Structure 1
Amino acid sequence: MSYVITPPAPVSVPVVGSKDRFPVNRIYCVGRNYVEHAKEMGFTGREAPFFFIKPADTCLVLEAGQTGTLHYPSLTKDFHHEIELVACIGTGGKNIKAADAKKHIYGYAVGLDMTRRDLQGEQKKLGRPWCIGKTFDEAAPIGPITPAAQAGDVENAEIYVQVNGQDRQRSTVSKLIWNIGEIIEHLSTAWELRPGDLIYTGTPEGVAAVVPGDTLSGGVAGLEPITLKVV
């Protein structure tokens, strides 16, 4: 088959303990999925889950032990970090029950849902989509994927991010409002999940701005941590 332009190279993420890589299909993100983060954003309670999507090519893929370079994006003066556990789908499906969700997960990774908060806020006030606040080059950093069997008890793991060595976000995955199984159940009723999908499961409280020169270090206990420098 020939193309009128050269197709882009596929996006893929390294896998811990393997030379094979995980190809990325779609990126789903869950909004306001920790109670304290919902409060700091002006909301309370266990609202119905909602989602937004980032293109696969917004991934900033980090190799094990690498300090990545995160470019400060255009148009914003309020660039925020949101540390997240990422569930990586290995087996697709529709209408997946929460009790069966783990069968569809290949592994887990540490990710950041980077946000142009001022632009997102402007769109909220106007009742418009958040795309310009959430979707841009390098908006979805992600570290190496740990296969599920090697990831330990991720549902109770500590999750954190530090900026220049100081804690910004620190919580546990057990505080998710909608747990991983419930997220997959809800998602798979709206979209057919496919192998290669990434699910950013939500961020705890403590989201805040970074500026050029800052170094972010984030992790989820049992998974490969990530480090990035903002330039």
Structure 2
Amino acid sequence: MSHNSPEIGLSNNYSEHSEVDNLTDSIKSLGFGGFDDLRQYKTAKFNVTLSPIVLEKDHAERVSKRTTFGLNNQLPEDHPLYSLPKAVAPSTSDFSFSKEEICSLPSPSASVLLAPSPVPPPANSWYPLAPLGGYKLVKDLRYKRGYVYVASYDMSPTNIKGHAASLAKIATPPNVDPAFIDGAFVASPIPGMIKMVPGVPFALAFNGDMERLHTVGCVQTLESLSAYPDFPEILNLSARLAKLT
């Protein structure tokens, strides 16, 4: 076979008394029968033929073909090497609190939270910005507060890559540190960002899907925690924490 041959030929040419013959004779000498069929393998011919790889794309196409669960699949570029079982989303009721467990506080007053106008960042920098359209209040028993502020998040590759590039240039926006006025700290609105409502969680809905919520966070105060059954314990622990800090 020449070096440039497009075929890889493999054949099992055995001698007159090959290893198969020896194995068969040895087994039969022990008094076992029915092993004459072993001799058929010494005359079996087989060839493995592969077409020549000329272009890189030919190699990529061949590598991308995988046999998974007995099926020959052409896998897309963004698919993992081996197939993964399809995830089944749990039903909303599987992770919902009962009415008895839900916080007794009334509904938050603001149905939509919008950020103040942003300010331009310094050169080669980026200030964090609240989602376009702000956060909308949604009644949701998956949160013990009974409500959550939700904004849609675009999961397209273009948006994710753009967001990642912006985060690499993130800078601290103005008004993050409160001003000390007349012996007290006074907080001012942060341009382009939303002030969280104490006690109400904030979440992102991937591509607007309310079954795919990613909780961003929740800020609490003693007042927002006062409606929970274990508030006496919370109050006691907060007093101990204050002494330590």
Q: TM-score, normalised by structure 2?
A: 0.20
Q: TM-score, normalised by structure 1?
A: 0.21
The answer to which structure has the higher strand fraction is: 1
Give 1 or 2 for the bigger CA radius of gyration: 2
Higher relative contact order (CA 8 A, sep 6+): 1
